[in-house]
Amino acid sequence: MSTIKIVLKNATIISLLIAGFFFASKLFGFEKNSFLRAFNLLFVGFGTYLAIKENVTKNKELGYFNNFGVGIQTSILAVIISIIGLILYIEVIDPNFFSVLKDTFLIAGKPSIQEFTMTLFIEGIASSVISSFTIMQYYKNYKIAA
């Protein structure tokens, strides 16, 4: 399977998990609980693990930096898709949700949608690198069984 397909497939999985969790939180009235956003890191880690594992097992790729790159590409693409989804949700479905985010997010002052988006993107890049690096600690010495 091509690396691009692996990245796209697993980024979609991460984005769907994040979106599903978002809607479940909203459904049960937990959208104001900022600590639940920590679960997004678990979803990013899970999808990154799936991408790296698939690249190792299906493509027989054992190179550290190649797999590390697959993990980062997968998770950053998922972050971008999720941010676009959040912006669309705020712009089209519930413009009042941005005020909820501003009140519950750990940003001083009153951030604009652009500042908020940039903060989410930087946070997403950090979680992408951390997830990929952590998972690669397992796969750095991985041997394919003959």
| Contact yes or no for 111/119 (Cβ under 8 A) | yes
The pLDDT, as a whole number, for residue 51 is 96
Q: Which residue has the tokens 């679960």?
A: 39
Whether pTM > 0.75 for this model: the answer is yes
Residues contacting residue 67 through CB under 8 Å, at least 6 positions apart:
52, 55, 56, 61, 136, 139
* Amino acid letter, residue 97: F
The token pair at 26 is 């909203």
Q: Which residue has the higher pLDDT, 19 or 141?
A: 19
Q: What is the pLDDT of residues 84-123, one digit of tens each?
A: 999 999 899 888 888 777 666 656 667 788 888 898 899 8
Six-digit token string for 100 = 């909820």
Q: What is the largest CA-CA distance in the chain?
A: 58
Residue ranges of alpha helices (H) inside 28-112 are 39-59, 64-88, 97-104
pLDDT for the residue numbered 105: 62
Give the whole-angstrom CA distance, residue 129 versus residue 82: 17
Angle at Cα 70 formed by Cα 78 and Cα 81, nearest 5°? Answer: 10
Residue 104 pLDDT: 62
| Crossing angle of helices 113-139 and 97-104, rounded to 10° | 60
Residue 98, token pair as written in the block? 């941005």
